[in-house]
A and B are shown apart, each in its own frame.
Chain A
Amino acid sequence: MQAIEVSHLTKRFGNLTALDDVSFSVSGGETFGFLGPNGAGKTTTIRILTGISTPTGGTASIFGKDIIRDTIASRKEMGIVHETSNVYDDLTAWQNLMFTAELYAVGKQMREKRAAELLDLFGLLERRDDRVRGFSKGMKRRLTLAMGLVNNPRLLFLDEPTSGLDVQSNLIIRDVIRDLNAQGVTVFLTTHNIEEANLACDRVAIINRGRIAAIDSPERLKKTIQSVQSVEVAFDSASPRRMDDLRQLPGVSEVRKEGDKFRLFTEDPSLVIDAVTAYAKAENARILSLSTFGPSLEDVFIRLTGLGIRTRGVTTVD
């Protein structure tokens, strides 16, 4: 049985079509990334999958239960971690967890045991009786995640879980997601952090303007645009003409400056490496580092969503 099954989902707000015939499925135990630019339809999809909003057309089910007809039973299977750390500032960490558990009708003994485990897991046990108002952003985020897990869900919706967090909170949350996945929990991850999706997800869906642009594993998606490769080079000296010079080299389709390095996009890295080496010699500049890169998931995302034109002259992907 699929954890999530979405079929021909459509959502219209007046004349605006927020979701247009969206179909996908997520297997049990899978970590599924849902990527898309702002306004692409990510939030609308999550609101429908969590039973908050009703679709104009199509169906969605959670572990075989129709989210429209059987909303409450479907919701019992899921934990939801909203994009905002929506904790109650005037309650303690413990009271926040107890309240969430009570909403899910978790029995007293079980919710107390579970809350203690989660506070320990997220490094908040010592602060359990402190009001959340005094917590840092990272601590609030960790508590939000703990609240999403208090009912021991089979499916976890994670909306931007690590956005803008400190390193410690980021690491804790990533470890927990990995552990959940190992325990067979299905994770539906919405993120702007493409590298996070690349590292965490078994499969990724890219949604754009209400339509699914692509669904596949990160590696397979990258292979669809092998033409977007790049050579990264750093020189020991700066030159005001360098960007223009590099842009003129054979095989280079685009140049971007990234810190003290230049990234040259190409279909033929070998040709560009030769050209860069020759250029350095001619300019009497020393090459500090030279690396080649395959296409990243970010490249796929940008290509499919049309967010940026960095791949002039390469074959487009449907």
Chain B
Amino acid sequence: MTEPAGKHGQLYAELFAAWAIAKKDIRIYYLKPNIIVSGAMFPLFMFLAFAVGRPAEPAVMIPGLVAITILFSASSIEPVSIPIERRVRTFDRLVSAPVSLHAVVLGESLSGFLYSIGIALVPLAAGLVIFRTPIISVFPLVFGILLTAFCFATMGTLFAAYPTESPGDIMSMLNMVRLPLIFISGVFIPVESVPAVGQAVVWLSPLTYGNDLIQASYHGHTHFNPLIDMAMLCIFILIFQVAANRLYKKFNE
């Protein structure tokens, strides 16, 4: 009844299952009016929080705003949906399916990734339409958005591995990491201007590289080489994916 076995057959099954999980999450969790509206409003509140009272032109804030929006939108839903699925035992369906935990982690991350891209279009469009912020280069913007969204979606899935049925437990841990990232990743303060203590950890933040790529598409220059940015984001994705796989395996015991 199932697809034929074999290396390619199983790879197909894994990707097929991951996509099924992503579709299921989108239907159940993401396509809800409150989730869409709150996601779309988030960049506005972030903009007001960081732009009001500052001498910087609103247009200057747009790239950082896009980066922060991706950080929060990509990593917010899985830490809520997975503990809920643990509570109602639907998560057991995923971990007992004939696919690896990598497929489960990928599927959970895919939905956050797609949602995040949709939400990132809001500040992007606002920059273009309202503030007339020109995009100099599309290439780093596209790769910056895609890789950053996937990286933080996987990070959200990684945090959701913590074996709790209460989303609050995970969100509090996640915010301990996400909020400091804003200040050490060159989002609103250039990396060069980050205090010495922050400089030491700038390299450890995936947001640094995502933001660097997105900034490049608006300003035409990067702090790091764009290829380094992309490579670092890919490394972070790999680390989060492998770590998530191990943690889900460990906590299933």
A-to-B contact residues, CB < 8 Å? 13, 50-54, 72-73, 75-76, 80, 82-84, 86-91, 95, 99-100, 102-107, 110, 114, 147, 151-152
Contact = CB atoms under 8 A, between A and B. Distances in A.
Interface stretch (B97-105, B176-184, B236-244): B97-105
Pairs A-B, 5 closest by C-beta atoms? A102-B20, A75-B98, A105-B13, A86-B89, A152-B1
Contacts of B98: 72-73, 75-76, 103-105
A95 B20 contact: no
Nearest to A87: B90
Interface stretch (B2-10, B108-116, B124-132): B2-10
Interface in B12-49: 12-13, 16-17, 19-21, 23-24, 27-28
B96 A75 contact: yes
B96 A151 contact: no
B72 to A, nearest CB: 23
Contact of A76 (B2, B16, B88, B94): B2
Nearest to A47: B252
Nearest to B28: A90
A107 B93 contact: no
A83 B89 CA distance: 9
A286 to B, nearest CB: 53
B122 interface: no
A110 B17 CA distance: 16
Nearest to B16: A105
A100 B24 CA distance: 10
Contact of B252 (A52, A73, A80, A89): A52
Nearest to B31: A90
Given A54-B253, A100-B93, 4 more contacts: A82-B93, A86-B90, A95-B27, A105-B16
A106 B9 CA distance: 12
Given A90-B28, A105-B13, A82 B89 contact: yes
B60 interface: no
Given A82-B89, A102-B16, A105-B12, A90 B27 contact: yes
Contact of A88 (B13, B90, B95, B252): B90
Contact of B96 (A52, A102, A114): A52
Contacts of B253: 13, 53-54
A91 B88 CA distance: 14
Contact of A104 (B2, B28, B88, B92): B2
Given A54-B253, A105-B13, A105-B17, A86 B1 contact: no
A84 B28 CA distance: 19
A205 B1 CA distance: 30
A102 B14 CA distance: 10
A51 B99 CA distance: 11
A314 to B, nearest CB: 41
Nearest to B91: A86
A99 B10 CA distance: 18
B1 A103 contact: no
B27 A91 contact: yes
